[in-house]
Chain A
Amino acid sequence: DVKVTQSSRYLVKRTGEKVFLECVQDMDHENMFWYRQDPGLGLRLIYFSYDVKMKEKGDIPEGYSVSREKKERFSLILESASTNQTSMYLCASRTSYEQYFGPGTRLTVT
């Protein structure tokens, strides 16, 4: 079974804090993704990576950065959290086609 894990299920941070969201997959997938999911807006792609140390901007990269130092791990960084970054964050990994999601991190920024 493919397993994608995320470091936290729930996180509460203050405005201006630096936030790290970690994602690990155990299937040796090249491609990994970070999305955020908001009611009425669906899944929006923040960043993706198709190889170690490679990263590409998705549709809404502003306010975020990512790091992929190892193939199995893809981190999302909020340099200075803001209240409009309160959301459900979903990591995913993929073979050529089959894409699997992690359990999600519900981030609240106060």
Chain B
Amino acid sequence: GESVGLHLPTLSVQEGDNSIINCAYSNSASDYFIWYKQESGKGPQFIIDIRSNMDKRQGQRVTVLLNKTVKHLSLQIAATQPGDSAVYFCAEIENAGNMLTFGGGTRLMVKP
């Protein structure tokens, strides 16, 4: 099972720097991916998604990159702010009839 909260990998960045959070997924047939942000004591918040027919998608201050060859997903946050401090995790799904599979998560800590 995935681990959330305990023994999470942690990324510590300085405010204003860019952050890159990585996720390795397991199913080469996965068609759709989501990045979530979860602040302490709150539910996961949908940040950005990407379909498998794309390799890059940009949102506001966030970019998701998909490398299907190595089954790797990354979330880039530009000009990281203290409010970005949270646990970030990816989710994958093969098709609309399946359940989401969640990654283990990375804790992002932003130093002011």
Contact = CB atoms under 8 A, between A and B. Distances in A.
Does A associate with B in a complex? yes
Interface of A: 2, 4, 6, 37-45, 48, 58, 90, 96-104, 106
B58 interface: no
B59 interface: no
A99 B42 CA distance: 16
Given A45-B99, A98-B49, A99-B100, A90 B43 contact: yes
B1 A44 contact: yes
A101 B104 contact: no
Chain B facing A: main interface SS: loop
Contacts of B41: 104, 106
A99 B3 contact: no
Contacts of A4: 43
A32 B7 CA distance: 30
B5 interface: yes
A44 B96 CA distance: 19
Given A42-B4, A43-B102, A98-B46, 11 more contacts: A38-B5, A39-B4, A40-B7, A41-B2, A43-B2, A43-B4, A97-B96, A98-B34, A101-B36, A101-B46, A104-B41
Contacts of A38: 4-5
Range of interface residues on chain B? 20 to 34
Contacts of A99: 34, 46, 91, 100
B43 A102 contact: yes
B32 A42 contact: no
Contacts of A41: 1-4
Nearest to B105: A42
Q: Which of B3, B43, B104 has the most CB of A within 10 A?
A: B43
Given A97-B96, A99-B91, A42 B42 contact: no
B1 A103 contact: no
A43 B100 CA distance: 10
Contacts of A90: 43-44
